[in-house]
């Protein structure tokens, strides 16, 4: 599943970090769970900005790992809100990888995409209406 030259990241840049040796699995690649946690953080930032309240992750509707992530990769999370419901909202998220040695600093490729769903909650942890 290679990134085509026409493909561009979806939405705005939300988070950038470096994949480290502590984040690897038994194969020496980066854990899918670590990538999911980065996406969850990125999505929660957008969800909080939109709702102006606390949010919790209620589900991940779809996640696809398209290319392995390696130690030393610059992991860039992009995303945008695709749906605002009564108390919930969906954020489409993508991980794009930059790596000087692999593709050069002017190139990047899509490693993962996902749809995260969040619910706005009040101080008691109960869903509350999102005003649009
Ligand atoms: C998320 C939570 C607050 C929802 O509470 P609830 O009383 O079940 O809420 P409701 O059934 O009224 O649903 C609230 C909204 O969530 C949506 N929702 C519920 N389950 C969903 C699912 N599996 N996927 C997507 N949306 C879902 C509902 O459609 C509703 O959206 P809407 O108001 O925009 O129409 C509650 O289940 C909870 O606290 N879960 C734990 C969250 C958490 O700890 N996350 C971190 C896990 S690591």
Q: What is the domain count for the chain?
A: 1
CATH label of the domain that carries residue 68: 3.10.129.10
Q: What is the pLDDT of residue 6?
A: 82
Would you give the end-to-end CA distance of the chain in angstroms?
A: 37
Q: From atom 35 of ligand 1, which residue's Cα is the shortest distance away? A: 86
Q: pLDDT means per 10 residues in the chain (132 residues)?
A: 84 97 93 97 98 98 94 96 98 95 84 98 97 83
Inside any domain, residue 129: no
The whole model's pTM is what? 0.95
Task: Choose one of 55, 88, 115 to mutate for the ligand 1 pocket test, by most ligand atoms within 8 angstroms of C-beta.
Answer: 88
CA–CA dist 41, 43 (Å, integer): 6
- Cβ-based neighbour number of residue 96 at 10 Å: 23
State the pLDDT at residue 11.
97
Q: Does any domain span residue 128? A: no
Q: Domain limits at 35?
A: 14-121
Predicted local distance difference test score (pLDDT) of residue 1 = 64
> Per the domain annotation, does 1 fall within a domain?
no
Task: Give the binding-site residues of ligand 1, using a 6 Å CB cut-off.
Answer: 56-59, 85-88, 117, 119, 121, 125, 127
Task: Decide if 4 is inside a domain.
Answer: no
């Amino acid at each position: 599943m290679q990134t085509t030259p026409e493909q561009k990241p979806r939405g705005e840049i939300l988070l950038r970090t470096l994949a480290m040796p502590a984040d690897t699995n038994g194969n020496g690649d980066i854990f899918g769970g670590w990538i999911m946690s980065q996406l969850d953080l990125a999505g929660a930032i957008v969800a909080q900005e939109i709702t102006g309240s606390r949010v919790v992750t209620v589900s991940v509707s779809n996640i696809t790992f398209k290319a392995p992530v390696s130690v030393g990769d610059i992991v860039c999370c992009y995303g945008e809100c695709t749906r605002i419901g009564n108390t919930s909202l969906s954020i489409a998220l993508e991980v794009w990888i930059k790596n000087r040695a692999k593709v050069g600093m002017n190139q990047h490729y899509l490693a993962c995409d996902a749809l995260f769903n969040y619910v706005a909650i009040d101080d008691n942890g109960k869903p509350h209406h999102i005003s649009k």
